[in-house]
Amino acid sequence: MKIGLYFGSFNPVHIGHLIIANSFAQDADLDQVWFVVTPLNPFKKKGDLLHHFDRIDLVDKAIEGNSKLKTSDVEFGMPQPNYTINTLEKLSQQYPQHEFVLILGQDNLPTFHKWKSFESILNNYQIYCYPRPHEKPSEFDNHPKVKLVQAPLIEISSSYIRQHIKSGKSIQYLVPEVVEKTIVLKKFYW
């Protein structure tokens, strides 16, 4: 199978994440898209980061019933902070029967050269990018391993949702109903 790996904190998962993942699962040449929930992104501060077990639970709830979308906790047992190349290599060893593709927002390309072992990623894996509005051109835009895949542009961020929660505002329609109910019930991000 050809698997798209969609890495992220998903803090929390929202409809933008789901629309992008589902678009790749339906419209790209992928059999499945796996949400790789990252315990700690090396480029982000811990701050308001919900525990990774709670975040993967929210993603599991959000994608329930969609056989083309799965979650992966592969990074939970890996040294932190983790790097994408390590995860790609680990998954390739665990599942040699699968071909893995990295899914990224186009906004990651201008700084892709700062990623650990970015050359190895480019040499061994395809990168499928979804467009981001007003993104500046990058040296990787025309790389033979980088493919731009059209997906709806959804301007929602997890930080926007967390701010709404802290301000006592509704997050209805920003996240799936089951995610909203779990956040309210467990008082996440308050």
Domains of the chain, residue spans = 2-155
Q: Please state whether 27 falls in left (phi above 0), alpha (psi between -120 and 50) or beta.
A: alpha
Q: How many Å apart are CA 85 and CA 88, to the nearest integer?
A: 5
Q: Which residues of the chain have pLDDT under 70?
A: 41-47
pLDDT recorded at residue 82: 86
Residue 133 and residue 107 in contact, taking contact as beta carbons nearer than 8 Å: no
pLDDT at 132: 81
State how far Cα 28 lies from the chain centre. Answer: 16
**What pLDDT does residue 136 have?**
80
| Own/partner pairs, 93-96, CB within 8 angstroms, 24+ separation | 95/3
Q: Model's pTM, two decimal places? A: 0.93
pLDDT reported for residue 46:
61
- Segments of the chain assigned E as strands: 2-8, 32-37, 69-72, 99-105, 126-130, 146-148
* Structural tokens at position 104: 């990224």
Specify the pLDDT at position 44.
Answer: 57
pLDDT of residue 45: 59
pLDDT reported for residue 42: 55
Q: Does domain 2-155 have CATH number 3.80.30.10?
A: no
Buried/exposed code over 136-149 (b: 16+ C-beta within 10 A; e: otherwise):
eebebeeeeebeeb
Per-residue confidence (pLDDT) for residue 41, from 0 to 100: 61
